[in-house]
Amino acid sequence: MSASLQDSFGRDINYLRLSLTDRCDLRCIYCMAENMTFLPKKDLLSLEELDHMCAQFIRRGIKKIRLTGGEPLVRRDFMTLIKALSRHLKTGELHELTLTTNGTQLARFAAPLKAAGVERINVSLDSLNRDVFKKLTRRDALDQVLGGLDAAKQAGLKVKINTVALKDMNIAELPSMMEWAHGQGFDMTLIEVMPMGDIDEDRRDQYMPLTVIYDELAACYSLMDDAHRTGGPARYVKVKETGGRLGMITPLTNNFCAGCNRIRVTCTGRIYMCLGQDDYVDLRAALRGPKPKEDLDAAVNRALRKKPEKHNFEISENRSGPAVGRHMSLTGG
Ligand code: SAM
Ligand code: SF4
């Protein structure tokens, strides 16, 4: 048995985020440019290679895997990987298999996901207004997403709605979205926009600190501290009036790196130690070489030693360009 995963700051790493593809059927304005250059398909690890890699991570103590992207549900045959990974849920070595999705394909996949052992999912939704949704995602797909959410509910999946707070776009709508989400039985988490990748817009026109949103919500609702944790960076409050839970992910206004328990691997096998830094270790050669087990262990150990203490995201008067060159769609949120 290899040593468990711990970085040089003593943080235990037990959470893997795996991006299945950098492609997507939406084009959210804060995530991508309209005309994105995607990775050549030939560079992607096969589903078998991803499965093999996950097994090695689970052997090293990874307990939770989140599939993300791009849009994970547009990767052809992704259910094959889900079904394969679910064997680790049955043995108890893996505690949770989950995913983050934009919801457009959920009507088709919600029931098979639940049947394969997925219990809860995050669905990203930034507006319930059809025109705003279209402007934000550059696609007219709100009804498709709402249909997907219905299917998720029917299938018995627990849903958390992720909403990026975007200045001049969805801020006024956030209270009614929260009431809607809680009314549906969904948790909701608000996220600050992060300066990742070149997009067609100025980040300063998008960024809204969640400290401001919190104060606005606190003026209208009773927000009670909630000890709930999902192993992620969100801090939660319980909303007395709705009975629901609201999370806040604040990479810019309140750094949460001290509790970081995760690593991120792209669909080409690059392990990124931090969302906010460009440094990576390539696992592909190890995976395809003659001694995959030993070489993967060595590459992962190398990555852990390089994991930085914290990101250095900033959006301010003086700094609006990307902190890292790659888009969020390469590593997933
Ligand atoms: N396509 C899936 C989705 O949208 O849920 C999964 C991948 S997406 C990159 C994961 C999450 O990252 C989404 O909740 C999205 O809103 C968020 N995201 C993308 N770009 C971001 C950025 N620059 N800052 C903050 N969140 C971002
Ligand atoms: Fe696609 Fe998700 Fe990025 Fe939106 S946030 S463009 S849905 S990958």
Residue 218 Cα to ligand 2 midpoint, Å, equals 29
Residue nearest (by alpha carbon) to ligand 2 atom 4: 28
In a domain, 4, yes or no: no
Query: CATH number of the domain that 22 lies in?
Result: 3.20.20.70
Q: pTM for the complete prediction? A: 0.92
The answer to which of 162-176, 229-243, 314-328 has the lowest mean pLDDT is: 314-328
In a domain, 112, yes or no: yes
Query: CB-based contacts of 230: which residues, under 8 Å, 6+ apart?
Result: none
* Residues with a CB atom less than 6 Å from ligand 2: 24, 26-28, 31-32, 69-71, 102, 124, 329
Nearest ligand atom owner, CA of 18: 1
Amino acid at position 244, single letter: G
Backbone angles phi, psi at 37, to 5 degrees: -95, 115
Burial 135-146 (b: 16+ CB within 10 A, else e): ebbbbebbebbb
pLDDT band at residue 13 using 50, 70 and 90 as cut-offs: confident
30 Cα nearest atom in ligand 1: 23
User: What's the pLDDT at 275?
Assistant: 72
Q: Does 18 contact ligand 1 (Cβ within 6 A)?
A: no
Specify the range with the lowest mean pLDDT, choosing from 11-15, 75-79, 260-264: 260-264
* Domain-embedded: residue 34: yes
> Whose alpha carbon is nearest atom 20 of ligand 1?
31
**Assigned domain for 7 exists:** no
In tens, the pLDDT along 195-217 reads 777 777 777 778 888 999 999 99
73 confidence band (pLDDT: 50, 70, 90): very high
Answer whether residue 314 shows pLDDT above 70: no
What pLDDT is attached to residue 168?
Answer: 87
* Two tokens, residue 320: 């609006």
Banded model confidence at residue 189, pLDDT cuts 50, 70, 90: very high
Ligand 1 lined by 124 (C-beta under 6 Å): yes
Tell me, what's the pLDDT at 224? Answer: 94
The phi and psi torsions of 82 (rounded to 5 degrees) equal: -60, -45
Q: What is the mean pLDDT of residues 149-171?
A: 96
How many A from CA of 99 to the centre of ligand 2?
13
Q: Is 145 in the pocket of ligand 1 (CB under 6 A)?
A: no
For ligand 1, what atom is nearest to the CA of residue 68? Answer: 6
**Which DSSP symbol is given to 196?**
B
What is the number of structural domains in the chain? 1
Cα–ligand 1 centroid distance for 148 (angstroms): 18
Average pLDDT estimate for 35-60: 94
Distance CA 170, CA 15 (A): 31
Cβ–ligand 1 contact at 31 (below 6 Å)? yes
Of ligand 1's listed atoms, the one at least distance from the Cα of 331 is 9
What is the extent of the structural domain holding 101? 15-331
pLDDT confidence of residue 52: 95
- Domain membership of residue 3 (yes or no) is no
What pLDDT score does 289 carry? 92
Q: Is the pLDDT score of 31 beyond 70?
A: yes
Rounded to whole angstroms, how far apart are CA atoms 35 and 324? 19
Lowest mean pLDDT among 140-154, 242-256, 285-299: 242-256
Ligand 1: distance of its center to the CA of 174 in Å?
A: 17
Q: Tell me if 10 is assigned to some domain.
A: no
Average of per-residue pLDDT across 256-277 = 81
106-119 pLDDT, tens digit per residue, is 999 999 999 999 99
Most ligand 2 atoms within 8 A of CB, residue of 32, 191, 331 to mutate:
32
